[in-house]
A and B are shown apart, each in its own frame.
Chain A
Amino acid sequence: METVETAGRVEVGARARADDDLRLLARIRRRDLKAFEALYRHYQPRLTRFLMTLLRRPHLVEEVLDDTLLVLWDRPDSFAGRSKLSTWLFTIAWRKAMKALRRQDEPIEDPFADSRMSPDRSPEQTAGDQRMRAALLEALAALSPEQRAVVDLCYFHEIGYREIAQIMDCPVDTVKTRMFHARRHLRRELAGEFGDWI
């Protein structure tokens, strides 16, 4: 079955990536800056996306992102190998992000502002997808940080519910429930104009 084959390929790719990560981490423990750079460059886009979705404040994202990845360099031995390195990094990012959110109470900058108006596309081309994106972004913004995190980890990072539960330190059923509520909200918000599509 297509789904089974896809899952198989995903699994093989994930295992290879996890092995690469461990090799790089071993080099980081020997203070190899190039290995740190390699891991940084691999995880920076993924973590940035996750944190931007979650925090929606670029300056905060930058701070949490660097603090998260510097744990790799400063305390590589704190990774005990009980999970994948990627899970460990997302867990640190999640904890630091929630801590940062708790101490923040300022207006949210719009991390998607640049994407809303693209000079490369004609008004005709942009009309449909821009409206859809705008509606989707508004709907996402109305979700709780916990729901946004699950949506991003599931839809974009394609992380399984058990691993998400590890990252967010909550029961698996809570992850499923958060996702359920989030999707329900998104579908409802998009129902008017995009009802046929969604």
Chain B
Amino acid sequence: MQGGICGANWPANLATGSEKPMADILSFRGDPHRATEMLLPWYASGQLDEDDRAVVDAHLSQCDLCRAALERERRLKAQVAGLPVRADLGWEKLQRRLAPDRAARRLPLPRTVLTWPALTAFAAAQAALLLGAVTLFRPQGPQAAYRTLGAPAARGNGNLLIMFRPDTPEQEMRLVIGRAGARLVDGPTAAGAYVLDVAPARRENVLADLRTRHSVVLAQPIEAAP
């Protein structure tokens, strides 16, 4: 196969096809034909500097052979880029490297990071306890008829439980609750959780939104007592 796309006479050192040290560095700036050949890979991916692109554009507009070469270049690029490469390495594996036992040897990570799963588990357990307590001690229907303004029972029952990260600023908490269109009806509890009240029709959407927030550790529905 002809090595030079335009049938140009290539320097003898190109005939080997192998790379040698600096002696083989090619510079064809004076020859747009060859300069185009050198730049085609980046032209094909839209990665050329403006000046170089102008040189290639100008040359392509008058050289059929180089336009054909560009098409071949695009096909070669697509084939190489499409080669599947095994890539079964992942975040889960790296997380194991971040695990406390290994981290102690290799990675002096801060305690907040290393203990985060444990913190989350603890927070979830506390929230579950709170959820049970809220359900157990929920004011019953008949009592509601006698409640007065200012009395604890005057607060809504709440239908959503939320727990923020321990380091969440108060301003962020207010923002999250406000954006959820929720009303704070109880908390903070001993476990640091809050009970919110939102319109029942919106609750699922609000929960879904809360769970995407970085500052929220836990957002759970509280079901009405039977």
Contacts and interface: CB of A to CB of B under 8 A. Distances in A.
Interface of A: 1, 3-4, 6-7, 10, 31-34, 37, 40-41, 44-45, 48-49, 52-53, 58, 61-62, 65-66, 69-70, 73-74, 111-115, 132-133, 136-137, 140, 144, 146-147, 151-152, 154-156, 158-162, 171, 173-174, 176-181, 183-188, 191, 195, 197-198
- Measured as residues with beta carbon below 8 angstroms from the partner, the interface class of chain B is 35 or more
A115 to B, nearest CB: 4
Contacts of A140: 80, 83
Nearest to A35: B214
B112 A31 contact: yes
Contacts of B73: 183
A70 B1 contact: no
B26 A44 contact: no
Contacts of A41: 91
A1 B57 contact: yes
Contact of B3 (A151, A159, A179, A184): A184
B26 A173 contact: yes
Contacts of B214: 32, 34
A73 B108 CA distance: 11
Given A144-B19, A178-B19, A188-B1, A160 B93 contact: no
Contacts of B38: 176, 179-180
B81 interface: yes
The 7 nearest A-B residue pairs measured at CB? A191-B1, A7-B46, A160-B47, A115-B84, A158-B45, A48-B87, A185-B17
Contacts, number: 157
A194 to B, nearest CB: 9
Nearest to A133: B83
A53 B87 CA distance: 11
Q: Main SS of chain A's interface residues?
A: helix
A154 B42 contact: yes
Interface in B1-38: 1, 3, 14, 17-19, 22, 24-27, 37-38
B141 interface: no
A52 B94 contact: no
A60 B49 CA distance: 35
A74 B25 contact: no
A183 B19 contact: no
Contacts of A132: 79
Contact of A52 (B76, B81, B86, B91): B86
Interface in B61-110: 72-73, 75-77, 79-81, 83-87, 89-91, 93-94, 97-98, 107, 109-110
